[in-house]
Structure 1
Amino acid sequence: MPEIKSVPLSRAAAPRPGSASRPSAASLRYAAPALLGYVAVRITGVAILLIAASATGKDGMHRLAGRWDSVWYQRIAEHGYGYEVRLPDGTFHSDLAFFPLLPALERGLSALIPPLGVAGAGLLVSWLASLAAAGGIFAVGARLYGRRAGVLLAVLWGAYPTAFVQSMAYTETLFTALAAWALYAVLTDRWITAGVLCVGAGLTRPVAAALIAAIGVTALWRLFTAWRAGEPLRTQLQMVVGACLAPLGWLSYIAFVAVREGHPFAYFDVQADWNNRIDGGAALAAFVVEQFGRNVFAGLGLCAAFAFLFWVLWLCVRQRPRQPLPVITYCVVVVVISLIGSGYFGSRPRLMMPAFPLLLPAAVALAGARRRTLPAVAVGVAALASGVYGAFTLLGSGPP
């Protein structure tokens, strides 16, 4: 991996040297290679799914738009909250576990374009959001490491192992779009914009807590350094307002569920009924131990996978001066949240997918490769592998 020189934290949001003559990282023309590459990768994945579905006599598009969690979002879009399912063990699965922004967009878009229906609207929202997410991921990567690394970062995110979810009527793309652009706004000192985008993220997925933490920690650090430098704190007013806005979306939905159910921690009770509790990683550890009991090689494989994850996370932390405080905080907290819950093990890679900074070490390494064909080969192999895995999963048990 090429050597990466340190950049002081106080300059994290400063323009790169010589960048005045460059297009903005948020420019559509500047981001075009990233967007086109991302679209090519996702079309590859969807094509593999549709070909495999046709060969097995199944409906591939239905699995993208009308199965699993998508059905819950569509039901909320059509009828509002209030639906629950009683399980044989006596517990309930309530639709209050699902945050409201995606169903609200599905409802609005289906009303605006009736032929779409809520299923088509959900798919369209997800696909448009995936482009916005790729653009935001590119913007962050290009600002930190240059255009080539930004392009590779966005394309690699499209070839993530569970990237098939990015083509489904799920919330991952919508959340990642809001999170990536919020992080870019922080990096460019647009704190009000960051706060507003974080409000949207907080109405999309519970993991918005990671984005709230990233904005809050960065704001506190900036306030501390300003105080140490003797700067008037009034110069940080926009930052304070943005940081105060950030948690309002997430908190408003938690409060909505609390009022509706008449209990301050009702949302967490709803999640517990779905077997989504914060247990500090106990369920994950028990699962790994169980795999050793069944097949020692499966257990060793899981340990190797976690070792790889922590190694990549360490690379990100070690490069922190070029992955500024908000980016690395967001990444680490997303990973931690994904690991300390009691949910089904198979869902964890999907839950980590919004942590796109995990791909920065690979993007930087490929961007600096001496063999110019290596990035294309690596991305092509990753895209094909992701597409095959997506088809296998969606035509089988489906995403957890």
Structure 2
Amino acid sequence: MSTSSVPRPEPAAPSGPRRCPTLPRIARRGVPEGALPALVFFTAVRLAGLLAVILTNALRGRPLVRNLAHSWDSRWYLHIATHGYGRLIDVTPGGAVQTDWAFFPLYPALIRALTTVLPVTPGQSALLIAWAAAVAAAYGVYAVGHRLYGRGVATALVALWAVLPHAVELTIAYTESLFAALAAWSLYCVLRGRWLWAGGLAALAGLSRPSGFAVAVAVCLAAAHEAVRQRGRVPASLWAGALLAPLGWLGYVLWVGGRTGDLLGGYLRVQSAWNSRFDLGAGALHFLKALLLHGGVFVYPAALVIVAAAVLLFALLCLERAPLALVAFSGVLILLVVGGSGSFSSKPRFLLPAFPLLIPMARALVRTWRRRPAQALLVLGALTATSLLFGAYVLVVAHSPL
């Protein structure tokens, strides 16, 4: 392999204190050099994905945009935003009582806040937040990739994240885009050594999704590794960030426990009613057996392929010797998906925020581009077409849980 095909890392930052960019500072500076093409591509692909959903709805005689904001879990978020917690329950055919306490509060709180200051409906507010968070997440993904490998790999990383088969769920009224944005920027701040920002963003991520504690685990492990490496001679902000990181997730779990009368086990009972529990992979094995014996609609074998590919990519990420925070974050999400119960059709969605898994593919795509640009474009084009078609299928045609 020629040395020109190896991606060059970003030049070392100048000496002196390093700052994690705050949102006002980002707004003043504008998009950093090199990020704009990646963000334009991401936005164009996701807008094409929304158009594909609208056209598919039209062909099937359904409301053109209703399922963007009112599908499956979206209805629960909108109800919480409008009426608060404890107002909506659902009893399954098996007699399980499902409550709205299973849904974390940050997204509905933002929906309610936006409807208070703007003349928009809760559904419109939910979509505006999801779309803005998706772009912020893509920017964060670029920032992480650029910090580690430079502009080329960062752009490829954003492009691959945009064309994931299930990426349509980044731009509907779900929490994946919000969680991904908070996770990406928290991990970026870890890489920059800005521990208070990393911990604060991790705490917010913990308020956005049940899997939000994956960011806290990544921050705490990275902080512990840094403390060992520096033999304890680390700034107080490192310990403060590590302590702050899990507070969002832990606070909500304990709040639900207090509401149910079981401080430590109440949240687990709430999730169990939704058939969401960590069963060490027993549910996944049962699903695999049923799929092999009886088959299933297209979305289920597709989900199995996506999860298997994610496990393989995680192994490659470890071989890449990626930073501990990225490996820990992705590893926890993989563990939750493989070892957790629940509908298998939803598992690809749970892996959407695990963008570090795409780093090995992004580096390979850059190498291919430098040698055979036409082949790289063909691969990216095929992935884009697959993403648009699969996204329209799972959102409009398939009746499986998202």
Identify the residue that residue 278 of structure 2 maps to in structure 1: 278
Corresponding residue number in structure 2 for 1:188: 192
Q: Which one of the candidate residues 44, 49, 68 is aligned to 1:64?
A: 68
**Tell me, what secondary structure is at the counterpart of 1:376?**
helix
Flag the 1:302–1:185 CA change in 2: closer, same or farther, 3 A.
closer
- Provide the C-alpha distance between the structure 2 equivalents of 1:211 and 1:133, rounded to a whole number of angstroms: 14
The match for 1:268 is 268
Contact 2:303 2:345 in 1 (8 A): no
Which of 28, 46, 49 does residue 31 from structure 2 map onto? Answer: 28
- Partners of 2:194 and 2:394 in 1: CA distance: 40
CA contact (8 A) 2:343 2:401 kept: no
Q: Which residue of 2 aligns with 1:145?
A: 149
Render the CA deviation track for 1:89-117: whole Å, top value 9, x for unaligned.
22111000000000000000011112x11
Query: Counterpart of 2:289?
Result: 289
Q: Which residue of 2 aligns with 1:11?
A: none
From 63, 76, 79, the equivalent of 2:80 is: 76
Q: Within 5 A, what are the aligned runs for 1:28-107?
A: 28-30=31-33, 31-82=35-86, 83-107=88-112
Superimposed CA distance per residue, residues 239-287 of structure 1 (whole angstroms, 9 cap, x where no aligned partner)? 1100100001001101110111111211110000000011000000111
Q: Which runs of 5+ in 2 are unaligned?
A: none
Size of the alignment, in residue pairs?
382
**In 2, Cα distance between equivalents of 1:331 and 1:2:** 31
Tell me the alpha carbon deviations over residues 44-69 of structure 1, each in whole angstroms, 9 at most, x when there is no partner.
11111112221221123111012211
Query: SS where residue 143 of structure 2 aligns?
Result: helix
Measure, in 1, the Cα distance between the counterparts of 2:42 and 2:58: 24
Pair 1:60–1:377, CA change in 2 (3 A): farther
Query: Could you tell me which residue of structure 2 aligns to residue 373 of structure 1?
Result: 374
The 2-side partners of 1:88 and 1:336 are apart by: 29
Distance 1:300-1:387 versus aligned 2 partners, 3 A rule? closer
Determine the structure 1 residue equivalent to 2:313.
312
1:17 correspondence with 2:21: no
Q: Residue 135 of structure 1 corresponds to which residue in structure 2?
A: 139
Cα pair 1:181 1:197 within 8 Å, conserved = yes
Query: What is the alpha-carbon distance in structure 2 between the residues aligned to residue 286 and residue 329 of structure 1?
Result: 27
Give the superposition deviation at 1:382. 1.3
Q: Pick closer, same or farther for the CA change 1:303–1:138 going to 2, 3 Å.
A: closer
Percent of matched pairs sharing the same residue: 37
Q: 1:262 is aligned with what amino acid?
A: G
Alpha carbons of 1:167 and 1:399: their partners in 2 closer, same or farther (altered >3 Å)?
farther
1:7-44 deviation line (CA, Å, top 9, x unaligned): 9xxxxxxx9435559xx997613221111010011011
- Residues 109 and 289 (structure 1), Cα distance of their counterparts in 2 relative to 1, 3 Å cut: same
Tell me the equivalent position of 1:10: none
TM-score, normalised with respect to structure 2 = 0.89
Is this contact kept in 2: 1:44–1:384, CA < 8 A? no
CA distance, structure 1, for counterparts of residue 401 and residue 289 of structure 2: 23
Displacement of 1:303 after TM fit? 7.5
What's the counterpart of residue 253 of structure 1? 252
Deviations 1:273-305 (A, max 9, x none): 000011000000111112222259x99988766
Deviates more, 1:60-69 or 1:183-192: 60-69
Provide the rounded CA distance (Å) in 2 between the counterparts of 1:5 and 1:150: 14
Q: Which residue of 2 aligns with 1:343?
A: 342
Cα root mean square deviation, aligned? 2.6
**Is the 1:315–1:361 contact (alpha carbons within 8 Å) kept by the matching residues of 2?**
yes
State the one-letter code of the partner of 1:99. Answer: F
| Alignment check: 8 A CA contact 1:106 1:122 kept | yes
Change (3 A) 1:44 1:374: farther
Change in Cα spacing, 1:203 to 1:2, as seen in structure 2 (3 Å) is farther
Secondary structure in 1 matching 2:32: helix
The more displaced of 36-45 and 308-317 is: 308-317
Q: What corresponds to 2:396 in structure 1? A: 395
Equivalent residue runs for 1:180-259 within 5 Å: 180-227=184-231, 233=233, 235-259=234-258
**Paired residue secondary structure (2:62):** coil
Contact 1:140–1:183 (8 Å) recurs in 2: yes
TM-fit CA distance, 1:312 = 1.6
Once the two structures are superposed, residues 112-168 of structure 1 have per-residue CA deviations (whole angstroms, 9 ceiling, x without a partner) of: 112x11100000000000000000001111111111111111121111111111110
Per chain length, whose mean CA-contact separation is higher, i.e. which structure has more relative contact order (CA < 8 Å, sep 6+)?
A: 1
The structural deviation recorded for 1:374 is: 3.4
* Equivalent position amino acid for 1:375 in 2: A
Q: Distance in 1 between matches of 2:62 and 2:173?
A: 18
Aligned equivalents of 1:205 and 1:100: distance in 2?
8
Supply the distance in 2 between the matched residues of 1:188 and 1:367 (Cα, whole angstroms).
24
Structure 1 stretches of 4+ with a deviation exceeding 2 A read 1-7, 15-21, 24-27, 298-311, 372-380
